[in-house]
Amino acid sequence: MFPGSHALTDPDHPAIIMAGSGAVTTYAELERRSATVASALHGLGLRRGDVIALVSDNAAPAFEIYWAAIRSGLYITAVNWHLAPDEAAYIINDSGAQVLFASAGIGELSAELVALTPAVRQRYAFGGEIPGHDSYSALLEQDLPPLTDQPRGAEMLYSSGTTGRPKGIKPRLLDIQVDEAGDPLVGMLAQVFGISPADRYLSPAPVYHTAPLKWCGGVLALGGTVVLMERFDAQDALAAIEKYRVTVTQMVPTMFIRMLHLPTEARQSYDVSSLRLAVHAAAPCPPDVKDAMIDWWGPILVEYYGATEQHGTTVITTPEWTQKRGSVGRAALGVLRICDDDGVELPPGEIGTVYFERDVTPFEYHNDPDKTADSRHPEHANWSTVGDVGYADEDGYLFLTDRKAFMIISGGVNIYPQEIENLLALHPAIADVAVIGLPHPEMGEQVKAVVQLRDGVAGSDELAGEIIDYVRQRIAHYKAPRSVDFTDQLPRTATGKLAKRILINSYLEVST
């Protein structure tokens, strides 16, 4: 399934509605524009397996470009526009993108990327002009015949690793045409979540994130309507649900918290009765927050656990969660396996590495064969892991006990401490540093830097602020520590390894 199928049967059905402006893109328009872009990319010499990049805020043309790639057998790499120019350029260069599409809404970043991404052969700007970019509107005006061969492409998205350098997660391209069934995510959206043309799906998160991009793509493949928020605001989200009679939405727990923090009168003034499903993922949801949302919206919350790697997925409904509090559900994509350090499968209740068995070739980490090899089971090539740890109970429900490599999840966004530690290691006042995530009532976790200063340097509020600014000036602001503590000595083992769990536990013990 893909938008062209629905353009034939219901061309005027809204494919995308911008929540703020109300601007509508119909299925006929989405089909025509994506087909034109696909033909233009083919004319530029791009073929199956090649890559295009997308640097976009939440805007409807992002999905015209997305579907142009998916119907051309291409990979599309969506780039986080909050990154610093050097960080964004690394992703574009590493992906091997030959063509870049950019939104004028973030044109300053895209203009800086021109000099930093010399391998990009062609650039287009939509929503306005960007220096060094051709007009996307002019591209759409070309009279180009649609492609007859339309192999299905895929997303190649980037997720930072413990080394701090982002890694491209490259799925195997399916050997199907775009209008054929076979995409596992689309199948899961239809079978597990019941997505159909009758649904209106509110997407409040940035489209460069995995879940918003892929879920919006899946909804469009199934003929539903994507109601795309330009940016998240708690009250605006409720207003959009009421105005557009939204039936399905997906949020991270931080969004739930911000809606719950609205005055009771404001929350109750919006009609959310059209909702049949509220999906949440990306970060652990505090049980009391989930309880409050269930009390407000009813037993329609569904949680899933997965990763950008798409190695597997678990799902748990509200009724199940009330019986299995703390679980992230049972396998809905892949077969769940819990293994010890030697790869031996463990019985229910025993903690080990979380693997999923798939009947397809697992993902690869682009340009990183060692990391790819580390993700595989030592004996079963089609069992893969992203390093999470947990256990399955006797009924097959997964309970996570730790997250990979001390990754911090703040507001549903992954932050990798070592990237920040590597940067601060060069600060002239710092002798040693650890970056950790500590519980935060709204964001889920908040970044803290614990710093051992060099001899002769005294800790102060002014120095703490300088350290935070030092990070903010060099990488994306959301990665910067929110607070800095000073210590005489960080806990390290005899071999010099930072005992980060001891450090984290010392903070947790103080807070309890």
Q: What is the DSSP letter of 500?
A: H
Domain ranges in the chain with CATH number 2.30.38.10? 325-402
Domain ranges in the chain with CATH number 3.40.50.12780? 3-231
Q: What is the pLDDT of residue 163?
A: 44
pLDDT digits (tens, 9 = 90+) for 297-321: 999 999 999 998 999 999 999 999 9
Mapping DSSP onto H, E and C, the string for 80-135 reads: CCCCCHHHHHHHHHHHCCCEEEEEHHHHHHHHHHHHHCCCCCEEEEECCCCCCCEE
Determine contact, residues 401/391, Cβ cutoff 8 Å.
yes
Antiparallel, parallel or unpaired: β 75-78 and 51-55: parallel
Domain ranges in the chain with CATH number 3.30.300.30? 406-511
Handedness of CA 261, 264, 270, 276 (dihedral sign): positive
Within a 13 Å sphere around the CA of 386, how many CA atoms are in the beta-carbon half? 22
In whole angstroms, what is the distance from residue 182 CA to residue 121 CA?
32
Within a 13 Å sphere around the CA of 327, how many CA atoms are in the beta-carbon half? 25
* CATH architecture for the domain at 325-402: Roll (2.30)
Token pair recorded at residue 418: 């070592």
- Pick from 87-91, 405-409, 462-466, 498-502: least confident: 405-409
Cβ neighbours for 256, distance < 8 A, ≥ 6 positions apart: 280, 285, 289, 290, 292, 293
pLDDT digits (tens, 9 = 90+) for 261-300: 899 999 999 999 999 999 998 777 878 889 999 999 999 9
Distance of CA 335 to the CA centre of its chain: 22
In whole angstroms, what is the distance from residue 36 CA to residue 30 CA?
10
The CATH number for 406-511, chosen from 1.10.3470.10, 3.30.300.30, 3.90.180.10, 1.10.10.10, is 3.30.300.30
pLDDT digits (tens, 9 = 90+) for 189-228: 999 999 999 999 999 999 999 999 999 999 999 999 999 9
288 — phi, psi (to 5°)? -70, -30
Averaged over 419-434, what is the pLDDT? 87
In whole angstroms, what is the distance from residue 154 CA to residue 168 CA?
12
pLDDT digits (tens, 9 = 90+) for 94-148: 999 999 999 999 999 999 999 999 999 999 999 999 999 999 999 999 999 999 9
Q: Does domain 3-231 have CATH number 3.20.19.10?
A: no
Count CB atoms within 10 A of the CB of residue 53: 29
Buried b (16+ CB within 10 A) or exposed e, 354-365: bbbbbeeebbbb
Instruction: Answer yes or no: is pLDDT of 164 > 60.
Output: no
Determine the residue type at 258.
R
Q: What is the DSSP letter of 300?
A: -
Instruction: Answer yes or no: is pLDDT of 494 > 60.
Output: no
H or E element, residue 254: helix 253-260
Q: Is 417 helix (H, G, I), strand (E, B) or coil?
A: helix
Order the strands of the 24-26 sheet from edge to edge. 24-26, 14-18, 225-228, 200-203, 248-251, 277-280, 301-305, 313-317, 330-333
Averaged over 245-259, what is the pLDDT? 92
Determine contact, residues 14/22, Cβ cutoff 8 Å.
no
Q: What is the pLDDT of residue 169?
A: 96
Instruction: Answer yes or no: is pLDDT of 496 > 60.
Output: no
